[in-house]
Structure 1
Amino acid sequence: MVSDIEDDALLGYEILIGQNGRPTDILLSQNRILLDGMAIPIFQVGKIGKARRVVVAESMTVPGHAEASVSVYI
């Protein structure tokens, strides 16, 4: 079965090294990734927006492996 999956993904080292120990080539100028000899097309969805500076409303410490919602000023 083949499925068209459009989820965001973060590729870790164990994926990028490939199964045959050959490194993966990420060719952004050609919009493709070469992984174990297979060319995988990549493309951006949506427009690139302008960058904004985000400042945390108050100082806080979030421990590792934790999630937190914080108030910010844009």
Structure 2
Amino acid sequence: MYEKIEDRAAVFYKKSNFEIGMAMVEWPVANGMLQQGFTALFETIKTFLCNQCEMNEHKYECRDLVVARVLHVVGL
């Protein structure tokens, strides 16, 4: 049983927060928890954008700012 748990948890042993985030998206979707999957995807997109804009992905202000900038560029 321990080996099965290790196998399922192995997807979370990634190198970057983005990779861990993508694993967090896949797991709830695969288990029928779509709302949790969308929430994880939204947070993972924020992490990705912060990294692309060289902003601190750990600060809420940066995460909100990067979303606001993207929405402004898109025109929403």
* TM-score above 0.5, yes or no: no
Please state which structure has a larger fraction of its residues in strand.
Answer: 1
| Larger fraction in helix | 2
TM-score range, shorter chain: under 0.3
**TM-score by structure 2 length?**
0.22
Greater relative contact order, per chain length (Cα 8 Å cut-off, separation 6+): 2
Structure index of larger Rg = 1
Query: Normalization by structure 1: what TM-score?
Result: 0.22
